[in-house]
């Protein structure tokens, strides 16, 4: 049985060292994918996504080589006249870095003000099963959106 606290701590650590921490890209696991990962002891994490400005991906965690957790996501620039992919990424990385450091968690309940926009992440549920949405508002207008959902994988 997976210890949820250990799993959550590992997810936060892995996310901090990969996308948010500008982790090194791994060889593509699927044609055209961008992959980044992290491993510590019996834990392994992979974030694999397609696209750039508009993108879709999946994060997964294995414990002793058995898949135990996953999250799917789709994000897009809604208003390219207000924000581009580079600025959206800057806002998201800064907001998530703050969330991981201050909350020690990876799920919503976060509002972050940045020079490029206001980031809001709201979710329901916990590590075991959750869904959520992150949005960036620029000048009061929704400029970027991402929907996510995931949880434990139970054989």
pLDDT tens readout for residues 66-117? 999 999 999 999 999 999 999 999 999 999 999 998 888 999 889 999 999 9
Residue 97 host element (H or E): helix 85-103
E strands within 4-140?
25-26, 34-40, 43-51, 55-63, 66-77, 110-114, 117-126, 129-138
pLDDT at 120: 98
Q: How many other C-beta atoms lie within 10 A of the C-beta of residue 24?
A: 9
Q: Binning pLDDT at 50, 70 and 90, where does residue 35 land?
A: very high
**Cα(1)–Cα(124) distance, rounded to whole angstroms?**
23
């Amino acid at each position: 049985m997976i210890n949820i606290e250990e799993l959550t701590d590992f997810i936060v650590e892995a996310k901090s060292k990969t996308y948010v921490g500008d982790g090194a890209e791994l060889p593509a696991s699927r044609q055209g994918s961008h992959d980044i990962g992290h491993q510590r002891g019996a834990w392994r994490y992979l974030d694999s996504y397609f696209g750039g400005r508009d993108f879709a991906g999946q994060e997964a965690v294995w414990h002793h080589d058995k898949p135990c957790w996953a999250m799917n996501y789709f994000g897009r620039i809604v208003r390219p006249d207000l924000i581009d992919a580079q600025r959206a990424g800057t806002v998201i990385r800064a907001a998530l870095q703050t969330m991981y450091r201050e909350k020690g968690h990876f799920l919503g309940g976060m509002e972050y003000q940045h020079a490029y926009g206001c980031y809001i992440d709201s979710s329901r549920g916990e590590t075991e099963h959750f869904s959520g949405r992150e949005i960036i508002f620029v000048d009061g207008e929704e400029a970027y959106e991402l929907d996510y959902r995931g949880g434990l994988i139970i054989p």
